[in-house]
Amino acid sequence: MSSNLMSLGSTVLAAVGLLILLALAAGLVTIAILYVIDRNQSKHTIRRNYPVIGRFRYFFEHLGEFFRQYFFAMDREELPFNRAERSWVYRAAKNLDNTIAFGSTRSLEPTGTMMFMNSAFPTLSDTASRWKPKLIGPHCRQPYEPNSFFNISGMSYGALSKPAVRALSQGAKTAGCWMNTGEGGLSSFHLEGGCDLVFQLGTAKYGARDLEGQLSDSKLREIAGHDQVKMFEIKLSQGAKPGKGGILPGDKVTHEIAQVRGITVGEDSISPNRHLDIASNNDLLAMIHRIRDITGKPVGFKCVLGDTDWLVALFELIRERGPESAPDFITLDSADGGTGAAPQPLMDYIGLPVRESLPWLVDQLIASGLRDRIRVIASGKLMVPSKVAWALATGADYVVSARGFMFSLGCIQALQCNRNTCPTGVTTHNPQLQRGLVPADKAARVAQYHQQMVYFLEMIAHSCGVPGPSELERKHVRMVTDSGFSAPLDHFYQNRIPLHSVK
């Protein structure tokens, strides 16, 4: 018996040894093949000079995106969103304690730093909501009075996964805020949650185009027939890629997405750089009138400001034609806005940040006598209470966020939105990766993030001595100047961007 066991043990050891030798041999053969390939290819210098070993460079470069945010970056160093901002959203979405200890890691010395001015006699209650809804589209057959000042910005089905859209739709309904469809059209997943919707009309007219790609009146009527669709937003440009149309890689164009958009499965979805039928302010007002007349609902446009002359001229044209001709709202995006895919030169260097463009727009509307007619919706990295409060104090009527709500869904800023490999299922159409995003669970987090945003905004307002966020003004905020000392926003922004005279 003992000899049999010893014999069996020897056989097993021999087999294991043979397997190890075979594995080593296979490994050596693989290395040899990779060596020959790398040594003889001419596209990659590192791999040609350092065969096999050079391949690890790309692997470590990829891992660096994750190592930076978890191990090396300080709380407030990382871009586009630092750890402190992301952590606040995560805790808010999970309804966890959002207090900190010992002291803030935020420096108050850099130029541009914002500080809210507390009152000697703050409001006693931290919870009494005093939001005053502001009517949008008073000249429409069906004007809109939103329930929330903080809403979900444009993210299309295509850029986002099916479970992500479903979670946002359900969460928005619970929160009582609107959800912007993004330029990818209106899908059943947007509708199923029952929330208010803003239909975004991109340059390719996805979801509202005929067979020739032109804007279809019948499609507009069909979309407007959904009671949930409250407004229409004409997308002229967005902060991440001004002057460039939307980009959806072909491997993200599934059958369902192609059907919603009216395009071909598996082909890159590239939108024109601008609306082919909008080449002037006259064209823009004509388009606004056409959509508003057909749908009966408020119509506005989204843009990021660079050149401002066209907008001054637009306001002058509106003054000549009368307030009924005006857009019902303007969604102002920031040059540091986000997207699923954009050329880096446009992402890095084109357009004005919202901290400059928003006060300019508000002041220009006042100078033009259109401030009460055209509502201002601010967008662009406004995902934490301090930045939303700043936008409201500066003059925005409403604020929208895309990436804030993405973080509430579980986004970890893996920077893979354009590769269909999002590890959290938010921006991928890989069913295995989508499986981790459970709509019912994430919808609750979306609603809780919104709830916490409102609560902390009210807290800021009460600290400043006003009843609610809608009463915040520029005088309640100061900004650190080049001198190292701060100045109130109403003084600081004066003539920062020259206001053109209004005739």
Q: Which residue has the higher pLDDT, 334 or 174?
A: 174
**Reported confidence tier of residue 315, pLDDT bands at 50, 70, 90:** very high
Closest among 346, 347, 365 to 308, alpha carbons compared:
365
Give the residue-averaged pLDDT of 426-450. 89
Q: How far apart are CA 69 and CA 81, in angstroms?
A: 10
Q: What is the pLDDT of residues 30-57, one digit of tens each?
A: 989 989 988 887 666 557 767 888 777 6
Model confidence at 495, pLDDT cuts 50, 70, 90, reads very low
b/e for 234-243, b at 16 or more Cβ within 10 A?
bbbbbbbbbe
Could you tell me what percent of the chain has a pLDDT over 70? 86
* pLDDT average, residue stretch 98-111: 77
Compute the distance between CA of residue 289 and CA of residue 286 in angstroms, rounded to an integer: 5
Instruction: Delineate the domains of the chain, giving CATH numbers in brackets.
Output: 2-88 (no CATH), 150-473 (3.20.20.70)
Q: What is the pTM of this model?
A: 0.84
Question: Among 61-75, 135-149, 419-433, 434-448, where is mean pLDDT lowest?
Answer: 61-75
Q: How many residues does the chain have?
A: 503
b (16+ CB within 10 A) / e for 307-332? ebeebbebbebbbeeeeebbbbbbbb
pLDDT for the residue numbered 229: 98
Q: Is the pLDDT of residue 497 over 60?
A: no
The pLDDT score that the predictor gives to residue 415 is 77
Q: Please tell me the predicted confidence (pLDDT) of residue 503.
A: 38
Q: Mean pLDDT over residues 303-311, rounded?
A: 93
Looking at residue 282, its pLDDT comes to 97
Q: Which of 170-174, 243-247, 360-364 has the lowest mean pLDDT?
A: 243-247
60: helix, strand or coil: helix
The mean pLDDT value for 237-242 works out to 75
Lowest mean pLDDT among 97-111, 137-151, 230-244, 278-292: 97-111
Confidence at 9, pLDDT banded by 50, 70, 90: low
- Which stretch of DSSP H or E encloses residue 5? helix 2-40
**Least trusted range by pLDDT, from 105-109, 322-326, 402-406, 409-413:** 105-109
SS3 content of the chain, % helix, strand, coil (to 5): 45, 10, 45
Q: In the chain, pLDDT over 90 holds for what percent of residues?
A: 47
pLDDT of residue 427: 85
Which secondary structure element, helix H or strand E, spans residue 259, and what is its range? Answer: helix 255-261
Helix (H) or strand (E) holding 247: strand 247-248
